[in-house]
Amino acid sequence: MSMQQALNRALAEVMTENPRALILGEDVGQLGGVFRITDGLQKKFGEARVFDTPLAESGILGMSVGLAMAGYHPIPEVQFDGFAYPAVNQIICQVGRMNYRSRGKLPMPITLRVPSFGGIRAPEHHGESLEAMFAHVPGLKVVSPSGPNEAYHLLKYAATRQDPVIFMEPKSRYWQKGPVNTGADAAGYRPTGSRVVREGKHLTLVAWGAMVARCLQVAELAAEDGIEIEVLDLRWLKPIDAEGLAASVAKTRRAVVVHEAPRTSGLGAEVASIISERCFGTLKAPVERVTGFDVPYPSGDLEDEYIPNIDRILYGIQRVLEYRRG
Amino acid sequence: MADVLALDGTGRAELADEELRELYRLMLAVRHLDESAIRWQRQGLIPGYAPQLGQEAAQVGSGYALDMSRDFVFPTYREMGVARTVGVDMVEYMSTHKATWHGGLYDPKASRFAPIQAVVGGSVLHAVGWAHGQTLDGTPAGELGVAITYFGDGASSQGDVHEAMNFAAVMKAPVVFFIQNNGWAISVPTERQVAGGSVAGRAAGYGMPSIQVDGNDVVAVTQATATALAHARAGNGPAVVEAMTYRRGPHSTSDDPGRYRTLEEERTDGGEDPLARMRTRLLADGIADEAFFEEALAAARAEEEQIRAGINALGPRPGTEMFDFVYQEPTQALKAQASAWREESEHV
C-alpha cells in the first residue's frame, strides 16, 4: 500500500482503539485533508471526533493543548510544514512545556502531523525541513517515517504516547508503495530507535524521511564500484538513537549524514557530534554532511539544485573515502 | 454599564447577606495578601510579584460565581484573587513568585486552576480546547462545565485572543472570556491598546453576547459572570465579560508607574476603592457592623501570617525535578544528562 494509505489506516486503528483520540485541522473532515491522509475518517468516526477548524494554526495547537488538559489525545494536522510557523508559540511555549510546568499533572499527548520536506515543486512555505527547530525544543519528540511500513508503525506508536510527538511526513513519498506488515505478528512492535535498511561495511549513510530512499539509490550505484554502503534510517530525530548510530559507524568507521534542511545548525551537526563522541577512536575520516544550503527553501525550479541529489551524496562519500590524515 | 448584547441565560438571583459578607472577607484577604507580597519582595522573601491592587472586586466576584465542581480556570500571572477565591493552596500558588517552580506547585488538575501562565494570551486558546472537550463528553446542555479564561486589555491585542474567540464562537464552546480592563498594559494605556475602546464591543462581531460591567463593584461582577456562565453552561456558546477596573499599583514589583502616570492621575482614574465601596454598602444596608470588619481584618492578618510562614519554609525543589517533569517517558539522552549532573554537581 502507499504511505498515504498506511497513514490513513494507522489513524483509523488509533481512533478505534482510543475513543479519546481526536483528529482536527484545516480541511481534515469532509475533504479528508489536502493530501487525503484523513480520507473517510470523518464518515467513519463522526464529526465530533474528526473535525475541521477555522484556518488558524496557533488556534489548532492551542486548542489541542486544552483538549489534552481535558483528557483527550488530539492528533492535529498543520496542512504544510511552513504553516507550523504561525503555531510555533503554542508548540514551544505550551505543547512542549505544559507537562513540565504542571509537574507532570497535565501531560500533552498530542501527535502533530506535519507534511514535511520538499520534492513536490510546491509554492513557498509548502516545503520546509523543520526537524532541527523542533528537536531543539525541550519536551517535544520528533519522528519521520521513510516509507509505508515505517509510516504505519511509527504513527501508531507515536499516537499512543503520553508525550507530544511532531510527526514529519515526507510528502514527496505519500504515493510510493511498499509492503506494510499489519498482521498479528506486528502487534506489540515498538518502532523505537533507528533501523538499518541496507547493510554495508565501508561507510554509513545516515538519513531520514525522503532522503532514505535517495540514499538507497546511492548505495546501489556505489555497490557497482564495489563500495558497500550501510544505510541507516534514523527514524527518531529526537531522541536520536545514539547506540544504533554508534553501532553502525563502529562497524563501517566512516559516516556521511544527509538532510534537506540548511547545513548550519542542522540536525546533521548533532548526528556528527554523537558519532565523534562515541566513535572518535575508530573513525577513519571526519563525518561529512551533505545537506541543503543556508538559503530559504527555493522555488520548484531550483529544488533539484537544493535538495541533496545522487551526485552530491556520491561526492560526499568520495571525500570521506579519500580522506587521509594530514 | 450596559449590555452590549443581551444574554439569554439566567443570571444569579440577589445575593444573600452571608454571601455579601463572604465577598467582602475574600476581597479583604486578597488585598492583604497582595500588599504583603509587595512587602515580601522588598524584604527579599520573594524575588518578584505582579500586584492586583484595585482588581479585588473583578477577581473575587468572577471567581465566586464559578462552580468549581465542573468549571475550570485559565489564569495569567495576575489572578491571585481568583486563585484565593476558588480555593487554590496559597503557599503553593505563591511559590511561583518565590521562583520555586514555573506555574506554581499546586496541582492544576485537582485545583481546576491551570498553571500560572506568563505568555500573554497563550492560555485563552487552551480554554477553548478544554471547553470544546466538555461538549464532546456528551454532557447535556445545562450541566456543561465552563472554561473561564482571564486576560487583560493588553493581551486582547494578541492574535491568539482573536483566534480563541472565533474558534469558540464557531464551535459554540462553553467559554467565558473574562477581561479585566485595568487601564494599563504596563505603561501603555487602554486607548493606545484597544481600538474602539472596548473588548466587549468586539464580541458582536463574533456573534457572541457580552457584558461590560463596573469591575470595581463586586456584586455586579458576580452577577455578570454568573449570567455569562449560565449562558455557556446552557449550551449557547461563549460569552464575554469585560470588567472595567483599574490597576492601582505597578505592573510588577520591578515597575515604576511614575514614569508614565502621575499620582494625581492615579487618584482620579482609579475611582473609588472596591473594598471601601463594599464596606460602605454593607454598613448602609445593615448587613455588617464594625465588629464584623474587625473580625474580617483579624482573619485576613492571621491568614497572611500563615501563608508567609509557609512561603518562608519553602526550600528549593530537588534539582532532579528539572529532569523529572520534561516528559512522561524520559529520553535516554535526558537520563544521561541527569546522571552526569548528579555526578558533576556532587549530588550523588
Cell digits for B132? 470544546
Check CB contact under 8 Å for A103 and B101. yes
Q: Which of B12, B162, B260, B261 is catalytic?
A: B260
How far B155 CA lies from chain A's nearest CA (Å)? 15
The percent helix, strand, coil of chain B (3-state, each to 5) is 50, 10, 40
Pairs across A and B, CB distance < 8 A: 139
Active site residue B267: no
| Pairwise CA distance, residues A186 & A153, whole Å | 9
Cell digits for B82? 481568583
Strand partners, B74: B149
Single out the residue of A133, A84, A69, A115 nearest to residue A267, CA to CA: A133
How far A138 CA lies from chain B's nearest CA (Å)? 7
Q: What is the DSSP string of B128-187?
A: HHHHHHHHHTTPPTTS---EEEEEETTGGGSHHHHHHHHHHHHHT--EEEEEEE-SEETT
pLDDT digits (tens, 9 = 90+) for A30-62: 999 999 999 999 999 999 999 999 999 999 999
Single out the residue of A57, A63, A59 nearest to residue A78, CA to CA: A57
Element of type H or E holding A197: strand A195-198
Q: Using CB atoms, which residue from A67, A71, A163 is nearest to B328?
A: A163
A66 touches chain B (CB under 8 A): yes
Average pLDDT of the segment spanning A223-251:
98
Whether the ω angle into residue B108 lies within 30 degrees of 0, i.e. cis, is no
pLDDT at A302 over 70: yes
pLDDT digits (tens, 9 = 90+) for A117-172: 999 999 999 999 999 999 999 999 999 999 999 999 999 999 999 999 999 999 99
Sort out which chain B residues have CB atoms less than 8 A from A71's CB and list them. 133
Check CB contact under 8 Å for A54 and B166. yes
Sort out which chain A residues have CB atoms less than 8 A from B100's CB and list them. none
Half-sphere exposure of A291 (CA within 13 A, CB side): 20
Check CB contact under 8 Å for A69 and B114. yes
Active site residue B251: yes
Check CB contact under 8 Å for B326 and A99. yes
SS3 at position B25: helix
A192 touches chain B (CB under 8 A): no
pLDDT digits (tens, 9 = 90+) for A61-90: 999 999 999 999 999 999 999 999 999 999
Check CB contact under 8 Å for A63 and B167. yes
> Which ranges of B172-273 would DSSP assign to H, the alpha helix?
218-233, 263-270
Residue A46 gets the label, from left (phi > 0), alpha (psi -120 to 50) or beta, of left
Q: Which of B21, B25, B202, B247 is catalytic?
A: B247
Predicted pLDDT of residue A256: 98
Predicted pLDDT of residue B263: 87
Predicted pLDDT of residue B242: 96
Whether the CB-CB separation of B146 and B232 falls below 8 Å is answered with: yes
Active site residue B150: no
Predicted pLDDT of residue B11: 57
Buried/exposed A23-37: b ≥16 CB within 10 Å, e otherwise: bbbbbbbeebbbbeb
Predicted pLDDT of residue B147: 98
Residue ranges in chain B whose pLDDT is less than 50: 1-6, 8-9
A111 touches chain B (CB under 8 A): no
Mutation for A interface: B130, B148, B162, B335, most A CBs within 10 A: B130
What's the predicted TM-score (pTM) here? 0.95
Check CB contact under 8 Å for B333 and A239. yes
| Pairwise CA distance, residues B177 & B229, whole Å | 10
Check CB contact under 8 Å for B133 and A163. no
Angle CA(B299)–CA(B304)–CA(B309) in degrees, nearest 5?
Answer: 130
Q: Which of B251, B277, B279, B308 is catalytic?
A: B251
Predicted pLDDT of residue B2: 41
Check CB contact under 8 Å for A69 and B119. no
Check CB contact under 8 Å for A62 and B129. yes
- Closest alpha carbon within chain B to A68: B130
Sort out which chain A residues have CB atoms less than 8 A from B170's CB and list them. 54
Check CB contact under 8 Å for B127 and A68. no
- Closest alpha carbon within chain A to B163: A59
A45 touches chain B (CB under 8 A): no
Sort out which chain A residues have CB atoms less than 8 A from B159's CB and list them. 58
